[in-house]
A = this chain, B = another copy of it.
Amino acid sequence: MARRDTRELILQTSLRLFNHLGEPNVTTNLIADEAEISPGNLYYHFRQKQDIVENLFSRFAESLLPLIDISPDSPFDAESLWFRMHMVFEVKGQYRFIYRNLSDLENRMPNVDKALKAILLREKTAITALFYALSSREVMRARDMELSLLTDQLMITLTYWIPFADLFDPQGFKDGTAQVKAIARIFLLTLPYLNEPWRGEAEGLAQAYLGNLA
């Protein structure tokens, strides 16, 4: 196998194992075993597990960041925002091992922890910018304090829907309902603060979602 292919095989195998078993429970030996390569060959590509995690994290960040950032000329219609949100949950689901051990990341992998916290702050800034834009276009109407609490509530969902699904609905990742439920909760949270006709439009999208769950 070409060197580049082996490297890719290691990353793909690691991602699958990390998501399935939890990153702290996966050793480099297990990765080599699953990838059907020798530990020495793995070591040639990645000196330690942390290098693999950092590589996967970079891919995650590259996929996620373009979806998060909001510019003044971003489209703000319900369809575009829905698509963007859907992709955010898709990407997080693909790299879900990252969101499972947020609390001990700081001690174990300070680099990854720092980068992840930067992403979370950027996400929060994006939501604030989005709400500001929607309010100034009179799509949305809420008091400042409500917007601040709503932003926090969205951040909790965006950050903890993965460990939450692990606890209450572990099958949800396999059949995709964990993502659908999380997105439906985002709709549920935001709907009360939308003005008509946008509220009706968003409610239509939400109904389609809720229909998938029934």
Q: Which residues of A contact B (CB under 8 A)?
A: 22, 24-25, 100-104, 107, 117, 120, 124, 145-146, 149-150, 152-153, 155-157, 159-161, 163-164, 166-168, 181, 184-185, 188-189, 192, 210, 213-214
Contacts and interface: CB of A to CB of B under 8 A. Distances in A.
A152 B104 CA distance: 25
Question: Which of A145, A184, A214: most chain B CB closer than 10 A?
Answer: A145
Copy total for this chain = 2
A19 B39 CA distance: 40
Contact of A184 (B100, B149, B156): B149
A163 B159 CA distance: 10
Given A22-B103, A25-B107, A189-B189, A155 B164 contact: yes
What secondary structure prevails in chain A residues at the interface with B?
helix
Contacts of A213: 145
A101 B46 CA distance: 28
Contacts of A164: 152, 155-156, 159-160
A104 B101 contact: yes
B153 A185 contact: yes
